[in-house]
A = this chain, B = another copy of it.
């Protein structure tokens, strides 16, 4: 009987304790995220998070082993937040042409970045000084690329015009240069399409970074609405160039 009680109670008690523990760990990450979102990575410190939670700074160490670990959690969180946002926008779109899907992904990425510039800067800005991202962050970082790869796989049409012809003897070298990415994309997708998608991909983050980091000031209009429209136009131009279908 006592065994049964123990079996029933122990897990639930442990589960409860673990639950409280998890809840507070979450709370810490949420609070840290808020500080990040509001004041940027510069203001983010173990002590500041503790202060904001009304705890002693040392208490944080019951939940997070170090400052770097906290940053890691925030990075994973940021990648996942962006991933969630973009994936759900993509899902909500429903059946659509590959071109429309590309644009949706681009728009959603930009919207997330404009909404949370500090979190965007954390993952796509200059690396945090003195911090080396551990392997844990790799997987969540691949969510968007995987989405794009799925999109490429669905694009089964031939490319409209192959751009400047790649010299035949160099093609193998470029294939090699595209290495890991090429291996991730189904063989049915031609190299040229992989290359163009990669370029479109970097273009997307180039635009967003320029806009967020102030490099478009005095270059394009400051009006948010005009900027959004211009961004959409750019997305269309890129997806047309890549050769994504727009039916």
Contact = CB atoms under 8 A, between A and B. Distances in A.
Interface of A: 40-43, 121, 124-127, 129-130, 133, 138, 141, 145, 163-164, 166, 170, 173-174, 176-181, 195-196, 198-199, 202-207, 209-210, 213-215, 218-221, 223, 226-227, 229-230, 233-234, 236-238, 240-241, 246
Contact of A199 (B178, B223, B238): B238
Given A43-B129, A174-B233, A240-B163, A203 B213 contact: no
Nearest to A192: B237
Interface residue SS majority, chain A: helix
B176 A241 contact: no
Contact of A177 (B130, B166, B226): B226
Name the 4 nearest CB pairs between A and B, nearest first.
A206-B206, A42-B129, A125-B126, A121-B126
B210 A180 contact: no
Contacts of A203: 199, 202-203, 206
Nearest to A222: B179
Contacts of A130: 42
A204 B207 CA distance: 10
